Structure 1
Protein backbone atom coordinates (compact mmCIF):
# COMPACT_ATOMS: atom_id res chain seq x y z
CA UNK A 1 0.00 0.00 0.00
CA UNK A 2 2.91 2.31 0.74
CA UNK A 3 4.21 1.88 -2.81
CA UNK A 4 0.83 2.82 -4.33
CA UNK A 5 0.70 5.99 -2.21
CA UNK A 6 4.27 6.87 -3.25
CA UNK A 7 3.50 6.35 -6.96
CA UNK A 8 0.30 8.43 -6.96
CA UNK A 9 2.04 11.86 -6.94
CA UNK A 10 4.32 10.71 -9.76
CA UNK A 11 1.38 9.55 -11.90
CA UNK A 12 -0.51 12.80 -11.20
CA UNK A 13 2.56 14.82 -12.19
CA UNK A 14 2.93 12.91 -15.49
CA UNK A 15 -0.78 13.32 -16.29
CA UNK A 16 -0.44 17.10 -15.89
CA UNK A 17 2.15 17.14 -18.70
CA UNK A 18 -0.30 17.15 -21.59
CA UNK A 19 1.65 19.42 -23.93
CA UNK A 20 2.77 17.44 -26.95
CA UNK A 21 6.26 18.18 -28.22
CA UNK A 22 6.30 20.21 -31.44
CA UNK A 23 6.49 18.22 -34.66
CA UNK A 24 9.87 18.37 -36.34
CA UNK A 25 10.10 20.52 -39.46
CA UNK A 26 10.29 18.59 -42.74
CA UNK A 27 13.79 18.13 -44.08
CA UNK A 28 14.24 18.96 -47.72
CA UNK A 29 16.29 16.40 -49.58
CA UNK A 30 17.56 16.11 -53.11
CA UNK A 31 17.24 13.21 -55.51
CA UNK A 32 20.60 11.44 -55.79
CA UNK A 33 22.45 12.07 -59.07
CA UNK A 34 22.32 8.40 -60.14
CA UNK A 35 18.51 8.50 -59.92
CA UNK A 36 17.98 11.83 -61.66
CA UNK A 37 18.48 10.40 -65.15
CA UNK A 38 16.08 7.45 -64.70
CA UNK A 39 13.23 7.38 -67.20
CA UNK A 40 9.87 7.51 -65.50
CA UNK A 41 7.02 5.33 -66.74
CA UNK A 42 4.58 6.88 -69.16
CA UNK A 43 1.57 8.46 -67.48
CA UNK A 44 -1.65 6.71 -68.46
CA UNK A 45 -4.65 8.94 -68.95
CA UNK A 46 -7.25 8.50 -66.21
CA UNK A 47 -9.98 7.44 -68.60
CA UNK A 48 -7.73 4.96 -70.42
CA UNK A 49 -7.44 2.58 -67.45
CA UNK A 50 -5.60 -0.72 -67.51
CA UNK A 51 -7.18 -3.79 -69.00
CA UNK A 52 -10.61 -4.16 -70.50
CA UNK A 53 -12.45 -0.83 -70.87
CA UNK A 54 -15.20 -0.42 -68.28
CA UNK A 55 -18.04 -0.57 -70.81
CA UNK A 56 -16.85 -4.00 -72.06
CA UNK A 57 -16.60 -5.68 -68.63
CA UNK A 58 -19.33 -8.07 -67.51
CA UNK A 59 -20.27 -8.75 -63.91
CA UNK A 60 -22.28 -11.71 -62.70
CA UNK A 61 -24.50 -10.66 -59.80
CA UNK A 62 -26.30 -13.18 -57.61
CA UNK A 63 -29.82 -12.30 -56.46
CA UNK A 64 -31.67 -14.32 -53.82
CA UNK A 65 -35.32 -13.85 -52.87
CA UNK A 66 -35.41 -15.14 -49.28
CA UNK A 67 -39.22 -15.44 -49.24
CA UNK A 68 -39.45 -18.10 -51.93
CA UNK A 69 -35.79 -19.24 -51.92
CA UNK A 70 -35.37 -18.43 -55.61
CA UNK A 71 -31.94 -17.38 -56.73
CA UNK A 72 -30.73 -16.24 -60.11
CA UNK A 73 -27.65 -14.83 -61.76
CA UNK A 74 -27.78 -11.51 -63.59
CA UNK A 75 -25.11 -10.59 -66.13
CA UNK A 76 -24.70 -6.83 -66.33
CA UNK A 77 -22.26 -4.42 -67.92
CA UNK A 78 -21.38 -1.22 -66.04
CA UNK A 79 -24.16 1.29 -66.62
CA UNK A 80 -26.84 -1.38 -67.04
CA UNK A 81 -29.72 -2.18 -64.71
CA UNK A 82 -32.22 -5.01 -64.54
CA UNK A 83 -35.56 -5.33 -62.78
CA UNK A 84 -36.53 -8.68 -61.32
CA UNK A 85 -39.96 -8.50 -59.69
CA UNK A 86 -39.84 -5.86 -56.96
CA UNK A 87 -36.09 -5.25 -57.10
CA UNK A 88 -33.85 -3.30 -59.47
CA UNK A 89 -30.12 -4.07 -59.63
CA UNK A 90 -27.81 -1.43 -61.12
CA UNK A 91 -24.13 -1.98 -61.87
CA UNK A 92 -21.96 1.14 -61.95
CA UNK A 93 -18.48 -0.45 -62.11
CA UNK A 94 -16.80 -3.84 -62.11
CA UNK A 95 -13.18 -4.60 -61.12
CA UNK A 96 -10.88 -7.48 -60.30
CA UNK A 97 -7.34 -7.54 -59.04
CA UNK A 98 -4.55 -7.82 -61.56
CA UNK A 99 -3.10 -11.31 -62.12
CA UNK A 100 0.24 -10.28 -60.61
CA UNK A 101 -1.30 -9.22 -57.29
CA UNK A 102 -1.26 -11.70 -54.42
CA UNK A 103 -4.69 -11.19 -52.87
CA UNK A 104 -7.19 -12.01 -55.62
CA UNK A 105 -10.65 -10.48 -55.50
CA UNK A 106 -13.45 -9.30 -57.72
CA UNK A 107 -16.09 -6.73 -57.04
CA UNK A 108 -18.59 -4.29 -58.35
CA UNK A 109 -20.22 -1.02 -57.41
CA UNK A 110 -23.85 -2.05 -57.11
CA UNK A 111 -27.07 -0.23 -56.31
CA UNK A 112 -30.14 -2.10 -55.11
CA UNK A 113 -33.60 -0.52 -55.29
CA UNK A 114 -36.72 -2.19 -53.88
CA UNK A 115 -40.33 -1.31 -54.71
CA UNK A 116 -42.19 0.32 -51.84
CA UNK A 117 -45.10 -1.75 -50.53
CA UNK A 118 -48.48 -0.61 -51.77
CA UNK A 119 -47.08 1.42 -54.67
CA UNK A 120 -46.96 0.78 -58.37
CA UNK A 121 -43.59 2.20 -59.41
CA UNK A 122 -41.99 3.85 -56.37
CA UNK A 123 -38.59 2.37 -55.58
CA UNK A 124 -36.37 3.04 -52.57
CA UNK A 125 -32.60 2.60 -52.68
CA UNK A 126 -31.64 0.10 -49.99
CA UNK A 127 -27.96 -0.28 -50.90
CA UNK A 128 -25.30 1.61 -52.83
CA UNK A 129 -21.66 0.58 -52.60
CA UNK A 130 -18.91 -1.88 -53.46
CA UNK A 131 -19.56 -5.59 -53.04
CA UNK A 132 -16.59 -7.97 -53.06
CA UNK A 133 -16.68 -11.65 -53.91
CA UNK A 134 -14.06 -12.80 -51.38
CA UNK A 135 -14.96 -10.30 -48.64
CA UNK A 136 -18.73 -10.35 -48.34
CA UNK A 137 -18.62 -9.00 -44.79
CA UNK A 138 -17.03 -5.67 -45.83
CA UNK A 139 -20.26 -4.39 -47.35
CA UNK A 140 -23.53 -6.23 -46.92
CA UNK A 141 -26.90 -5.69 -48.53
CA UNK A 142 -29.10 -5.64 -45.44
CA UNK A 143 -32.63 -6.35 -46.57
CA UNK A 144 -35.18 -8.78 -45.10
CA UNK A 145 -36.23 -10.19 -48.49
CA UNK A 146 -33.35 -9.79 -50.95
CA UNK A 147 -29.71 -10.78 -50.83
CA UNK A 148 -27.33 -9.52 -53.53
CA UNK A 149 -23.68 -10.42 -54.07
CA UNK A 150 -20.99 -10.25 -56.78
CA UNK A 151 -20.01 -13.61 -58.25
CA UNK A 152 -17.49 -12.46 -60.85
CA UNK A 153 -16.19 -9.63 -62.99
CA UNK A 154 -15.07 -10.67 -66.47
CA UNK A 155 -12.22 -8.51 -67.72
CA UNK A 156 -8.68 -8.97 -69.05
CA UNK A 157 -5.33 -7.38 -68.38
CA UNK A 158 -2.50 -6.78 -70.90
CA UNK A 159 -0.24 -9.82 -71.18
CA UNK A 160 -2.73 -12.11 -69.50
CA UNK A 161 -3.32 -15.43 -71.22
Structure 2
Protein backbone atom coordinates (compact mmCIF):
# COMPACT_ATOMS: atom_id res chain seq x y z
CA UNK A 1 0.00 0.00 0.00
CA UNK A 2 1.34 3.46 -0.90
CA UNK A 3 1.38 6.24 1.66
CA UNK A 4 -0.55 9.44 0.95
CA UNK A 5 1.29 12.77 0.74
CA UNK A 6 -0.38 13.88 3.98
CA UNK A 7 0.83 10.75 5.76
CA UNK A 8 4.35 11.21 4.39
CA UNK A 9 4.49 14.76 5.74
CA UNK A 10 4.07 13.29 9.23
CA UNK A 11 7.13 11.03 8.90
CA UNK A 12 9.89 13.40 10.06
CA UNK A 13 13.04 11.38 9.49
CA UNK A 14 11.95 8.18 7.79
CA UNK A 15 13.22 7.91 4.21
CA UNK A 16 10.49 7.11 1.70
CA UNK A 17 12.63 4.39 0.18
CA UNK A 18 12.40 2.53 3.49
CA UNK A 19 8.64 2.99 3.93
CA UNK A 20 7.52 2.43 0.32
CA UNK A 21 9.34 0.14 -2.13
CA UNK A 22 8.08 2.34 -5.01
CA UNK A 23 10.74 4.94 -4.08
CA UNK A 24 14.49 4.68 -4.72
CA UNK A 25 17.03 6.56 -2.57
CA UNK A 26 19.29 8.90 -4.56
CA UNK A 27 22.47 10.74 -3.45
CA UNK A 28 21.78 14.18 -4.96
CA UNK A 29 18.85 16.60 -5.05
CA UNK A 30 18.31 19.22 -7.76
CA UNK A 31 16.61 22.21 -6.18
CA UNK A 32 15.19 25.34 -7.74
CA UNK A 33 16.05 28.38 -5.64
CA UNK A 34 14.40 31.76 -6.19
CA UNK A 35 15.64 35.08 -4.81
CA UNK A 36 12.37 37.07 -4.69
CA UNK A 37 14.19 40.42 -4.48
CA UNK A 38 16.20 40.02 -7.68
CA UNK A 39 13.86 37.48 -9.37
CA UNK A 40 16.95 35.32 -9.95
CA UNK A 41 16.29 31.58 -10.30
CA UNK A 42 19.18 29.21 -9.65
CA UNK A 43 19.29 25.43 -9.94
CA UNK A 44 21.25 24.06 -6.98
CA UNK A 45 22.76 20.57 -6.76
CA UNK A 46 22.79 19.39 -3.13
CA UNK A 47 24.30 16.11 -1.95
CA UNK A 48 22.48 14.24 0.80
CA UNK A 49 24.01 15.09 4.17
CA UNK A 50 26.13 18.02 2.91
CA UNK A 51 25.01 21.61 3.66
CA UNK A 52 24.61 23.80 0.57
CA UNK A 53 24.41 27.61 0.61
CA UNK A 54 21.97 29.83 -1.26
CA UNK A 55 22.04 33.44 -0.14
CA UNK A 56 21.67 33.44 3.63
CA UNK A 57 20.12 29.95 3.60
CA UNK A 58 21.91 26.75 4.51
CA UNK A 59 20.11 23.78 2.93
CA UNK A 60 20.78 20.25 4.13
CA UNK A 61 19.13 17.38 2.27
CA UNK A 62 18.63 14.48 4.70
CA UNK A 63 16.96 12.13 2.19
CA UNK A 64 16.20 12.30 -1.52
CA UNK A 65 13.99 9.70 -3.17
CA UNK A 66 12.74 9.23 -6.72
CA UNK A 67 10.32 6.92 -8.46
CA UNK A 68 11.84 4.10 -10.56
CA UNK A 69 12.31 4.78 -14.29
CA UNK A 70 9.26 2.67 -15.23
CA UNK A 71 6.88 4.84 -13.13
CA UNK A 72 5.61 8.41 -13.42
CA UNK A 73 8.55 10.70 -12.54
CA UNK A 74 8.42 12.18 -9.05
CA UNK A 75 10.84 13.17 -6.31
CA UNK A 76 10.59 13.76 -2.58
CA UNK A 77 13.28 15.23 -0.36
CA UNK A 78 13.55 15.73 3.40
CA UNK A 79 15.12 19.19 3.83
CA UNK A 80 16.39 21.18 6.76
CA UNK A 81 16.82 24.87 5.92
CA UNK A 82 18.28 27.46 8.27
CA UNK A 83 18.76 31.18 7.75
CA UNK A 84 22.00 32.77 8.97
CA UNK A 85 20.14 36.07 9.44
CA UNK A 86 17.64 34.55 11.89
CA UNK A 87 18.00 35.25 15.60
CA UNK A 88 20.28 32.95 17.60
CA UNK A 89 18.38 29.86 18.73
CA UNK A 90 15.58 30.30 16.18
CA UNK A 91 13.98 27.16 14.78
CA UNK A 92 14.85 26.14 11.20
CA UNK A 93 13.20 28.16 8.45
CA UNK A 94 11.95 24.83 7.06
CA UNK A 95 12.15 21.18 8.08
CA UNK A 96 10.20 18.45 6.32
CA UNK A 97 9.39 16.70 3.07
CA UNK A 98 9.09 18.58 -0.21
CA UNK A 99 7.47 16.90 -3.21
CA UNK A 100 8.29 17.69 -6.85
CA UNK A 101 4.80 16.84 -8.15
CA UNK A 102 3.00 18.58 -5.28
CA UNK A 103 5.06 21.64 -4.30
CA UNK A 104 2.18 23.29 -2.44
CA UNK A 105 1.89 20.42 0.07
CA UNK A 106 4.83 21.63 2.17
CA UNK A 107 6.67 24.87 1.33
CA UNK A 108 9.37 27.14 2.70
CA UNK A 109 7.76 30.32 4.00
CA UNK A 110 10.49 32.96 3.74
CA UNK A 111 10.25 36.66 2.82
CA UNK A 112 13.26 36.59 0.44
CA UNK A 113 13.76 33.02 -0.80
CA UNK A 114 11.75 30.17 -2.28
CA UNK A 115 13.12 26.62 -2.56
CA UNK A 116 11.56 23.77 -4.54
CA UNK A 117 12.66 20.18 -5.23
CA UNK A 118 12.98 19.39 -8.95
CA UNK A 119 14.39 15.86 -8.94
CA UNK A 120 16.60 13.36 -7.16
CA UNK A 121 19.56 11.89 -9.04
For the pair shown, the structure with the greater C-alpha radius of gyration is: 1
Work out which of the residue numbers 93, 98, 105 in structure 2 matches 1:131: 98
In terms of fraction of residues, the more helix-rich structure is 1
Q: 1:115-130, aligned counterparts within 5 Å?
A: 115-116=84-85, 122=88, 124=90, 125-130=92-97
Residues 1:147 and 2:117 aligned together:
no
1:111 partnered with 2:80:
yes
Alpha-carbon RMSD across the aligned residues, in angstroms, is: 2.6
Quickly say closer, same or farther: Cα 1:138–1:53, change in 2 above 3 A: closer
1:1-161 superposed matches below 5 A: 54=26, 57-101=27-71, 103-116=72-85, 122=88, 124=90, 125-154=92-121
| Counterpart-to-counterpart distance in 1, 2:89 and 2:41 | 21
Instruction: Check the 8 A contact 2:25/2:63 in 1, yes or no.
Output: no
In the TM superposition, what whole-angstrom CA distance separates every residue of 1:74-108 from its partner, at most 9, and x where no partner exists? 1111101112331111111100122344x531121
Matches of 1:147 and 1:123 in 2, distance apart? 22
| Runs of 5+ consecutive residues of structure 1 not aligned to the other structure | 1-45, 155-161
CA gap of 1:138–1:51, structure 2 versus 1, over 3 A, is: closer
Q: What runs of 5+ residues in structure 2 fail to find an aligned partner?
A: 1-17
For 1:107 and 1:126, the matched residues in 2 are separated by: 18
- Structure 1 residues 53, 94: closer, same or farther in 2, change over 3 A? closer
Higher relative contact order by CA 8 Å / sep ≥ 6: 1 or 2? 2
TM-score normalised to the size of structure 1?
0.54
* Cα drift, residue 147 of structure 1: 0.2
> As a proportion of its length, which structure holds more strand?
2
